[in-house]
Amino acid sequence: MSSSRTRRGLAAGVSVAALAAASLLALSPAQAYDPGGLAGSSLYVDPFSTTLEAAQSLSGQARDDAQLLGSIASATWFTKGTPAEVQAGARTYVDGAAAAGKMPVLVAYNLPFRDCAQYSAGGAADTAAYEAWIDGLAAGIGDRPATVILEPDGLGIIPWNTDINGNAEWCRPAELDPATASADRYEQLNYAIDALGALPATSVYLDGTHSGWLGVGDISDRLIKAGVERATGFFLNVSNYVETPKLQKYGTWISDCINLSQNSWWEPAWCASQYYPANPGDFSTWGLTDAAYAKAYADTGVVRDPASQAHFVLDTSRNGQGPWAGPSAPYPGAPAGADPEVWCNPPDRGLGARPTTETGDPFIDAYLWVKVPGESDGQCFRGTGGPLDPERGIQDPAAGQWFVEQARELIELAQPPIAPLDCHVAWDASGSGKASSAKLRLDGAAAGAPWTVSFVLAGDQKVTKATHGSVTQSGHAVSVSGTGAKPGNAPDVVLSVKGAAEQPWIFWLDGAACYSD
C-alpha cells in the first residue's frame, strides 16, 4: 500500500507579512470561539496566508481563484526552523487567531526522516532536536486556543517498521539503526502529544492515514502506541483524495477498534476493516464491517460511546471528485510498470466539503482544508525522465508553489460546487513615506444602504481619516463604514494614512470576502 502514501508541498510555515503583523485582528464574521476545543469552534482565515500571498503576483482569473480559495480557512504548515523560529512563527499566527476569536489550525511537520527522506524530505536531525522544536511550537501556542495536526504520514511511514501482521515495511534508511528506529518514532510522537497536550486550550490529532492505505487494525495499533489516548484523536486523508463517506466509516471503525482494544480483551489485529469482511473496491459491502463491529461490541460487552472515544478530523481540501485512477495507458518513454504517481497533482480533481466544525457526526470534530488547495505537490514525472508532467504536458511548479491550472480545476470541479465571491474592492493608493491616501471603490454595496469594509494592514500604518465615511482601527485591523455607493467613478471613501498605503491582501464587505485588483 505504499503507492497510496500522501504527499504534499511544504508551506513556508508563516508568511513574511504575517510575521510583521503580530497583533492583527481578522474581521470576517463568526461566532466567538468555544474554549471546549475544535468541535463547534469558528475556523481562522489568515489574512496573510500563502494562498493570498500567491494572489499578489497573479492577475485576471488566476488572481480571482487564489483570492476565492484564500477567503476560506486552511491550515498553516510549520515544517522547519530552530526552536526559537518556530516559537516566533507560531506565536504570531496564534496571536492573530486569538485576537479574532477564531480557531487556528497548525500542521507540525518536522519529524526526523519524515516521508522516509523522499519527496518531502527534511525534518529535525534527531530525537533531541525534534523534542526541542516541539517545545518551541508549544511555547508559541501558549494558553491560546489552537488545533495541531501532528505529523502527516508520521504513523503511515515509520522507518524500519514491522506491520501488525509481521511484515517488514519498505522504509529502511541505512542511516538509522534498524533496532531502534521504529521505537524512536513512537518516542518522538509521544513526547509531542505530552508537550502539546499539556497546553490548556490545544487540541491535538495524530496521523490516521486513509482508507486506501492501512487496515483498521494496523493503524489503530500504531495510534495506541503513539499515545492517542492522551490526544484529542486522529486525522485522515491529509493531502489525499479519498471520498468523505469512505473516510467517515474508516474513521469510526478506527475509533471503535481503539475502544475495544483498550477496554477489553480485544486485540487490534482482530479488528474488521475496509479489507475484510468488506471489499475495499465495493462500497456497498462496507456494511459487513459495520456488522462485524456490532458483534465485537456484543461479544466484549464494551459500549460504543462517541463522547469518550477518539474523535477524528478529515482533510476535504481535494476530495470532491475522489482519487484519480491513473492513465489508461503507459506514458511514452516510461518503462513498464512505472509509477504513475496518482497522488501527485492528479488532473480533474475538485474541492471537497468546505471547512466546518459542525459536521453532524459525533465522531468527526471537523472537515478541514489541511493541504492548502492550489499548492503543487511537486514536479511529477510519472516514470518518465521529465521535466514535463506527461499527463498535463507542462512542467509542474515545485512543491508548495502555486499551481494556477490546478487551482482552476479544483474550483471548477468542486463538489459541492463553490460560488464565486460577489463583491469587489478597488484600492487606489497615492503618496508615500510619512503620509499617503487610498481611494476605495466598492462593487457590491447596496445603493443607499449602509456598508462596512474591513481589512488588515501588514505594517505599522495608521488610518487617520475617512472622507465620506468613518473609520476605526485596532492594531492592524481597520473597519470603514459609510452609506450608499457613489455615482460614476467617484470613490466611495478616501482614506488618509500615516505611512505607506499598501494594499491589504483581502477585504470583507459587510462580512463577506471580496475580490480586489
pLDDT tens digit sequence for 431-485: 877 889 999 999 988 777 899 999 999 888 999 999 999 999 998 999 999 997 7
Sign of CA dihedral 321, 324, 328, 331: positive
CA distance 11 to 375: 8
Q: Which grid coordinates belong to 226?
A: 503513539
Q: Locate cell 502539546: which residue? A: 196
Burial 431-460 (b: 16+ CB within 10 A, else e): eeeeebbbbbbbebbeeeeebbbbbbbbee
Closest C-alpha among 137, 141, 143, 191 to residue 35: 143
Give the Cβ contact number of residue 287 at 10 Å.
Answer: 12
Q: Show the low-confidence residues of the chain (pLDDT under 50).
A: 1-35
DSSP 418-464: -PPP--EEEEEEEEETTEEEEEEEEESPPTTSEEEEEEE-SSS-EEE
CA distance 312 to 316: 13
pLDDT confidence of residue 36: 58
pLDDT confidence of residue 152: 96
What is the enclosing helix (H) or strand (E) of 255?
helix 244-262
DSSP 371-424: S-TTB------TTS--SSBTTTTBPPPPTTSB-HHHHHHHHHT-SS--PPP--E
Taking 3-state DSSP, the helix, strand and coil percentages for the chain, each rounded to the nearest 5, stand at 25, 20, 55
Closest C-alpha among 237, 227, 223, 230 to residue 197: 230
pLDDT confidence of residue 6: 34
Give the Cβ contact number of residue 395 at 10 Å.
Answer: 13
CA distance 218 to 156: 10
Give how far Cα 405 sits from Cα of 6, 59, 370, 395, 498, Å.
Answer: 21, 13, 20, 11, 39
CA distance 98 to 458: 17
pLDDT confidence of residue 25: 37
Strands 233-236 vs 311-315: parallel, antiparallel or unpaired? parallel
CA distance 43 to 298: 39
Give, rounded to a whole angstrom, the gap between the first and last alpha carbons of the chain. Answer: 46
Give the Cβ contact number of residue 233 at 10 Å.
Answer: 24
- pTM here? 0.92
DSSP state, residue 317? T
pLDDT confidence of residue 392: 96
pLDDT confidence of residue 488: 72
pLDDT confidence of residue 274: 98
Given strand 364-368, what is the order of strands in its sheet? Answer: 76-78, 105-108, 146-150, 202-207, 233-236, 311-315, 364-368
pLDDT confidence of residue 486: 75
Q: Which grid coordinates belong to 212?
A: 486506501
| Ramachandran region, residue 6 (left: φ > 0; alpha: ψ -120 to 50; beta: rest) | beta
Whether 112 and 155 have beta carbons less than 8 Å apart is answered as no
SS3 273: strand
pLDDT confidence of residue 445: 82
